[in-house]
Chains A and B, each alone.
Chain A
Amino acid sequence: MASAGATTRQRCLPALATTYDGDDPRLLDRLAPLVDFLEITPDAIATSDVQRAHLRPAVLNEYAAVSSNVRFIAHGVGLSIGSFDRWEESYLHLLDELLAHVPLAWHSEHLACTTVAGENVGTMFALPRTEEALDLVCERVRVLLERYRTPFLLEHVIQLLPDAPCEFTPAGFLNAITSRTGCGLLVDAYNLECDAHNQGLAIQSFLDELDFAPVRELHLAGGTCYNGFRLDIHSGLIDTSTLALGMEIMCRAPNLRAVTFELLKEAIPLLGHDSICAELLRLRSAIQGAIQ
């Protein structure tokens, strides 16, 4: 565990959050007393007719039913903030719709590209860490901050493909974005482990270089290894190594507001409600143990 200093020991505990994207009210009933925030993926609770995508009212009603017990944050997938030509305005329509129903403490997106010239990629491309990409992302972040007046965080995604020629280190690129725009950062401990496994990322060097002041949220998740790759599929419980790394990040991040157990909706039947709730209790206990 990194030394966090006296200020860390005096600070408030970060809140506990987890993903909930609807359609499982029995799980929601059990989650609500355990967490402080529910993290909503607007794309995951949307449906699309011929005209446009919109949020499903039944899921919005589920959130309304627990709004006296928990707060909400949004974590988007489809904005494509790094596309060379344009971002996906349709995602912002979903975010607008969500904000009209649910107050958000902050919202976040992946630092990635999911559409290219209007064509959906079907996965995510990480951005090349270049001045060109930096300028493009920073301008869009400024527009988002101006438009929503709600804190906005960017999350680094895993780099599965070989690293492109670049002008910044992984942490240096994130530092440049946060310092130029004032946006926050969402650090994903499992993504860092994936990059270490797949690309040889030196996690400690990354952490030593990263400016932790803008880090507001920490994602913790479990995934799987396949064909020699570690994949960020968010299908499992949190590995011991991921939890330890997450707690180190938490102790280094003085302004951290929430630690989120990120879980794919499709994985819920595989894990079961009991183990998800037990994982949240384990995480709450780990947070308390690491801070106090």
Chain B
Amino acid sequence: MIGLEAYQRGLLDLLKQRGPAPADAYLRRVADSRELAMLRGIAMWWRVFQLEAQCRFIARLLRRLGCFDESVLSYFNRNNTSPFVEELSRDFLRFLFTHPDPLVRSTSHFEYALSQVLTGSAERFEILWDHLLS
């Protein structure tokens, strides 16, 4: 019988596609299951839904670049994502600050600054926009 801690840590690792293959027989069965794929899909769908509604500029850009879902998945798998949409959005934008594409970096900085100002921040932001719009 698998212990509660091993069960929950094991499921989280499987959900987030990280860590070595599980040694426990039950977790191995979950790892190969279509149910796990469905659960991952549900978790991802919610993050995509929330981020698309909250981070409109970056979501639209990433969709145009064909990498929105992949970016959200990467963010979800590598981070402790907040259940609160404001924190989720802020952290996702910060996650993109180091994106290899300079336009994605600039846009995420811009949208982050905009969200901060809209929520009352008095901070001054400067965005380096290394991109010629055509």
Per-residue A-contact encoding for B85-100, CB less than 8 Å = 1, 0 else: 0110000000000000
Q: Which of A117, A161, A228 contacts B36 (CB 8 A)?
A: A161
**Main SS of the interface on chain B?**
helix
Q: How far is the CA of A43 from the CA of B119 in the complex (A)?
A: 20
Per-residue B-contact encoding for A83-110, CB less than 8 Å = 1, 0 else: 1110000000000000000000000000
Q: How far is the CA of A69 from the CA of B82 in the complex (A)?
A: 35
Per-residue A-contact encoding for B67-85, CB less than 8 Å = 1, 0 else: 0000000001000111110
Chain A residue numbers with a CB within 8 Å of B1 are 130, 165, 167
**Contacts A48-B84, A121-B12, A122-B76; A84 near B5 (Cβ below 8 A):** yes
Q: Within 8 Å of chain B (Cβ to Cβ): is A13?
A: no
Chain A residue numbers with a CB within 8 Å of B33 are 161-162
Residue of B nearest to A123 (CB): B43
Q: How far is the CA of A78 from the CA of B82 in the complex (A)?
A: 11
Contact check, B35 vs A162: say whether CB atoms are below 8 A apart.
Answer: yes
Q: Within 8 Å of chain B (Cβ to Cβ): is A70?
A: no
Chain B residue numbers with a CB within 8 Å of A161 are 11, 30, 33, 35-36, 39
Q: How far is the CA of A162 from the CA of B11 in the complex (A)?
A: 11
Q: Within 8 Å of chain B (Cβ to Cβ): is A63?
A: no
Q: Which of A49, A77, A125, A198 contacts B11 (CB 8 A)?
A: A125
Please tell me the number of chain B residues within 8 Å of chain A, measured between CB atoms.
35
Residue of B nearest to A77 (CB): B83
Contact check, A120 vs B80: say whether CB atoms are below 8 A apart.
Answer: yes
Contact check, B15 vs A162: say whether CB atoms are below 8 A apart.
Answer: no
Q: How far is the CA of A162 from the CA of B76 in the complex (A)?
A: 23
Q: Within 8 Å of chain A (Cβ to Cβ): is B47?
A: yes
**Contacts A132-B3, A231-B42; A162 near B29 (Cβ below 8 A):** yes
Q: Within 8 Å of chain B (Cβ to Cβ): is A46?
A: yes
Considering the complex, which residues of chain B in the window 1-55 have a beta carbon less than 8 Å from any beta carbon of chain A?
1-5, 7-9, 11-12, 15, 26, 29-30, 33-36, 38-39, 41-43, 46-47, 49
Considering the complex, which residues of chain A in the window 159-201 have a beta carbon less than 8 Å from any beta carbon of chain B?
160-162, 164-165, 167, 198
CB distance from A37 to the nearest CB of B (A): 25
CB distance from A164 to the nearest CB of B (A): 5
Q: Within 8 Å of chain B (Cβ to Cβ): is A266?
A: yes
Q: How far is the CA of A227 from the CA of B42 in the complex (A)?
A: 12
Residue of B nearest to A125 (CB): B11
Q: Within 8 Å of chain B (Cβ to Cβ): is A229?
A: yes
Chain A residue numbers with a CB within 8 Å of B30 are 161-162
Q: How far is the CA of A164 from the CA of B29 in the complex (A)?
A: 10
Q: Within 8 Å of chain B (Cβ to Cβ): is A116?
A: yes
Q: Within 8 Å of chain B (Cβ to Cβ): is A118?
A: yes
Per-residue B-contact encoding for A110-149, CB less than 8 Å = 1, 0 else: 0001101111111101011010110010000000000000
Chain A residue numbers with a CB within 8 Å of B81 are 120, 122
Indicate the member of B38, B41, B119 with the most A CB atoms within 10 Å: B38
**Contacts A122-B15, A162-B30; A84 near B4 (Cβ below 8 A):** yes
Q: How far is the CA of A117 from the CA of B5 in the complex (A)?
A: 9
Binding site for B on A (CB under 8 A): 43, 46-49, 53, 77-78, 82-85, 113-114, 116-123, 125, 127-128, 130, 132-133, 136, 160-162, 164-165, 167, 198, 226-229, 231, 266
Binding site for A on B (CB under 8 A): 1-5, 7-9, 11-12, 15, 26, 29-30, 33-36, 38-39, 41-43, 46-47, 49, 76, 80-84, 86-87, 119
Identify 6 new A-B residue pairs, CB closer than 8 A, beyond the known A117-B12, A160-B38, A165-B26. Answer: A43-B83, A113-B8, A127-B4, A162-B29, A164-B7, A198-B35
6 pairs, A vs B, C-beta closer than 8 Å: A77-B83, A116-B9, A121-B15, A162-B33, A164-B7, A266-B49
